[in-house]
Structure 1
Amino acid sequence: MKTITITRTFDAPRKLVFEAWLDPKHLINWHRGSSDWTTPFAESDGRKGGTFRIGYGSPDGKNDFTFEGVYDEVTPYSRIVFTVGDGRPVSIDLAESEGKTRLTLVLTLEDMHSAEQQRDGWTQVLVHLGEYLARL
């Protein structure tokens, strides 16, 4: 299985970045792959074995879908590992330095979209997370 790694630094403490990734009240504000999409709902039980469901609303409403999976590992403020609905693992590691948080995401690729498309989509997810964190 091929993977890609995306790293991004946020001007926010690690605890807040961690909570933003797991808490539905945060997820609904940023978890989308494109600016013209919406997040109509978010459910998350952010503990090992817990599940998540995040609604993705397309601009025309014709391509809406639910992004879902199971949390395999949740280590407070430093690591989140989950398996998405199609069985692919994703890991997120958080490291804090001087009040900023470096997030490293490792995504196992799927076969329907190119690696570049998947990197672009997940990069946009992280861009939206950064924009959201900047507003808090």
Structure 2
Amino acid sequence: MEKEKITVQTTVKKNVERVWECWTDPEHITQWNFAADSWCCPKAENDLKVGGKYRARMEAKDGSFGFDFEAVYDEVAKHKKISYTMTDGRQATTTFETSGTGTLVTTVFDPENQNPLEMQQGGWQAILNNFKAYVER
């Protein structure tokens, strides 16, 4: 039996080139890669190629908690698709599709076993919503 996957998505009212740039450039990633205003992403590194590493530090602004997110790219198709494997073996794929109103960004990922599915979906969706707000500013 295959593990359940979680899907989050949003349409960003910008062209796919701009959306891709903001999704992949560390200078942009640090501006949106957190789920709540009480958090931040002080550091991001991105070697965007198959076998390359993605790293991001996420922290509570008050310094009470933080963690590192790390993954290795399995597939990179410019302006179309990014797939990676996280350090715990879970996988995620993000696709970028041009739509009439902008770019549809969809991420499908393997859930972890520590938190309820709804909480994980909510957290990843909040980050994606933050991304949308940042790019559309």
- Cα deviation 1:7-48 (Å, max 9, x = unaligned): 211101111112222110110110112221011111111111
What residue number does 2:113 align with? 111
Aligned to 1:57: 59
| Structure (1/2) with the larger strand percentage | 2
4+ residue stretches of structure 1 with deviation over 2 A?
Answer: none
- 2:133 alignment counterpart: 131
Q: Which AA in structure 1 matches 2:77?
A: T
Q: Provide the secondary structure at the position in 1 that maps to 2:41.
A: coil
**Residue 23 of structure 1 contacts residue 46 of structure 1 at CA under 8 Å; is this kept in 2?**
no
Q: Displacement, 1:60?
A: 3.0
Secondary structure at the counterpart of residue 116 of structure 1: helix
Partner residue, 1:26: 28
Q: Map residues 30-49 of structure 1 onto 2, 5 A cutoff.
A: 30-49=32-51
Map of 2:102 onto structure 1: 100
- Coordinate RMSD, CA, aligned: 1.1
TM-score after normalising by structure 1: 0.94
**TM-score (normalizing by structure 2):** 0.93
Where does residue 78 of structure 1 map in the other structure?
A: 80
Name the aligned partner's letter for residue 36 of structure 1: S
Give the match's secondary structure for 1:112: coil
Q: What is the alpha-carbon distance in structure 1 between the residues aligned to residue 46 and residue 53 of structure 2?
A: 6
Task: For structure 1, list consecutive stretches of 5 or more residues without a partner in the other structure.
Answer: none
- CA distance in 2 between counterparts of 1:82 and 1:13 reads 23
Partner Cα distance (1:129, 1:31) in 2: 7
> SS state of the match for residue 87, structure 1?
coil
Unpaired segments ≥5 residues, structure 2:
none
Cα distance in 1, alignment partners of residues 38 and 131 from structure 2: 15
| Secondary structure in structure 1 of the residue aligned to 2:74 | strand
Q: Which amino acid aligns with 1:83?
A: T
